[in-house]
Amino acid sequence: MPQLTQQFSRMPRSRLLRIVVLGLFGIFTLRLFYIQVIQHGYYDEQAKASQVSKLTIAPERGKIYAHDGAGVVPLVLNETVYTVFADPSEVTDASKVTQVLKNVAGGNIVSDSLARLTDKSVRYIVLARQVSRTQAELIQKENVAGIGLQKGSRRVYPEQALAAQTLGYVNTEGTGQYGLEEALQARLVGTPGTLEAVTDVRRIPLTIGKDDARVEAKNGDNLVLSVDRNIQSKAEQVLRDGLANVRATKGSVLVMDPRSGHVLAMANFPTYDPSKYGDVQDYSVFQNAVVSAPYEAGSVMKTLTVGAGLDSGAVNTNTVFNDSSGCATVDDRKICNVEEDPRQANATMLTTLRYSLNTGVVFTLRQMGGGEVNRQARDTLYSYFHSHYRFGQLTGIEQAGETPGTIIAPDQQEGNNVRYANMAFGQGMDVTMIQAASAFSAAINGGRYYQPSLIDGTLGSDGSVSSVQPKVLAENTLSPAHSAELRDLIWQARKQGFFGPNDPEGYKIGGKTGTSQVIDPKTGKYSNDNSIGSYLGFGGAETPEYVIMVRVDDSKAGGYAGTTAAGPIFNTLSNWLLKYLNIEPMR
């Protein structure tokens, strides 16, 4: 070692310096080799973790269209909006940020967000949501340090409140609420994509290119509804005017095509504007009463009881019964008709529908039991109501909040003879309008039960509509022959009744009124102070081409609400549909 020290001491300084430098260079080279080659994968991952983020690419929510004659028109579109955010660590003038936001986006500011601008411990604060493009451009022009804009979208409604309860709305989180928007959220929202890109500390992409995308977003389906924009608009107008005429504040109208189960219109009043859902005070207005408000529909159900009687063989079109007393006794209960009962000794099924005889449908129920209201009679009626007409079951229509209604089975304690006698004329059971109209459609169209639907298909990028086939749930609701018999009875009953003489010549318009008492929540008994009026009927030439159901909840017109309140709404809309659909009269 001393010799080595002596050698270095005798070595020229320049040479010694070169050796030291070369040695250090070698060490640096080895270290760089180790980092760049041997440890390349590790440091590459570290760099990616700090600089590159996997981001979600939001898909565009599917648009919603309605038919308009031969074409389609938009009911729901998307509009670009922005979220305003801030990084407090980069905000140099909080007061200026506050002033700009209040001046430009006052109504869109997130509560208490501006007060957090001085909190340097957070890096991301949402200041305002749903800011318009114009507002965003004004904010950008101010060039305020520390705030940025994030692009998004919101729903817009070219037809404003048209079909509001059917459509529903989308909240600020992009989630559908009520109606179609909630029921078909998965189809409408689409599938997010992923993007790997270099971002800043706020995870805002610095560059975006198509090559960066790992998976492209799949936009939601653009849906074409079976709803006809003109029928919907007319139904809403007729409903609104009809309610005003009888000083009612609440009602609904449903129009269906009995040949497919497609819904042509759903109207409710009161209604709301989906673009201003935040202004609504009474949240019940969001619900679509056509599918979510079951009730005792009353005498409109007599058509279906008669249909069950015909199809089961309990009665036929020539069957007669004695109605001279105008009343029938079931167990210990006396059931009577209304004042206009003609008290005929030889009443028929046509008489039953023409004069809305409770005794007629109770007689039909008796015949189902071999002459008595008994377990056999109850089993038969339940089979038709539950299994054929599908009451007490969800129809599966594309609406959030659909309810199944209530029908008591014959083996339950409450499913006794008296209840079933009441059910024969539409009391003691709850149905929704969509259930009643779907069952009625099946009963008069030859027996085919179509699942009610609001969706006709999807709209392609070329503007073409890819329609879906109607879904048949049953072929045997009634036999074709008995369906034709029932259809003729309903037509003849209306033709001979109060409304029939005013129907246009050459058309077959059939229907039935219904007035049901409402149970007083205080007494638990039926009240005479209020009732619900209904009308359920069809129209067309040789065969039915539309079915209309009307419900009016609180008519002040007096008389039987089915006749005075619901019937006129049906008449006006039916006459208009004959012309709008270009239905040629029979020769």
Give Cα separations from 579 to 290, 362, 478, 536 (angstroms): 25, 39, 30, 20
Is 182 found in the same domain as 300? no
Q: Is 259 contained in some domain? A: yes
Q: Is 314 contained in some domain? A: yes
Is 234 found in the same domain as 103? no
The closest of 494, 492, 510 to 443, measured between CA atoms, is 510
Is 31 found in the same domain as 63? no
**Parent domain of 12:** 2-38
Q: How many domains does the chain contain in total? A: 3
pLDDT tens over the chain, length 587 residues: 555 555 556 667 777 677 777 777 777 777 777 666 676 666 555 555 555 555 567 789 999 999 998 899 999 999 988 888 888 777 777 777 778 877 877 767 777 777 677 777 777 878 787 888 888 888 878 777 777 787 888 899 999 999 999 999 999 888 999 999 999 999 999 988 876 665 554 455 555 554 455 678 899 999 999 999 999 999 999 999 999 999 999 999 999 999 999 999 999 999 999 999 999 999 999 999 999 999 999 999 999 999 999 999 999 999 999 999 999 999 999 999 987 789 999 999 999 999 999 999 999 999 999 999 999 999 999 999 999 999 999 999 999 999 999 999 999 999 999 999 999 999 999 999 999 999 999 999 999 999 999 999 999 988 888 999 999 999 999 999 999 999 999 999 999 999 999 999 999 999 999 998 777 667 777 666 678 999 999 999 999 999 999 999 999 988 899 999 999 999 999 999 999 999 999 98
Is 350 found in the same domain as 295? yes
Is 445 found in the same domain as 397? yes
| pTM more than 0.75 | yes
Asked whether the CA dihedral 491, 495, 499, 503 is positive or negative, the reply is: positive
Is 33 found in the same domain as 74? no
Is 270 found in the same domain as 131? no
- Which residue among 191, 210, 242 closes a domain? 191
Is 143 found in the same domain as 263? no
Tokens 């030859």 belong to: 446
Is 378 found in the same domain as 524? yes
The closest of 568, 331, 334, 552 to 433, measured between CA atoms, is 552
- Joined together, the tokens standing for residue 423 give 């059910």
- Joined together, the tokens standing for residue 96 give 């200026």
- Which residue among 164, 191, 218 closes a domain? 191
Q: Is 165 contained in some domain? A: yes
Is 325 found in the same domain as 444? yes
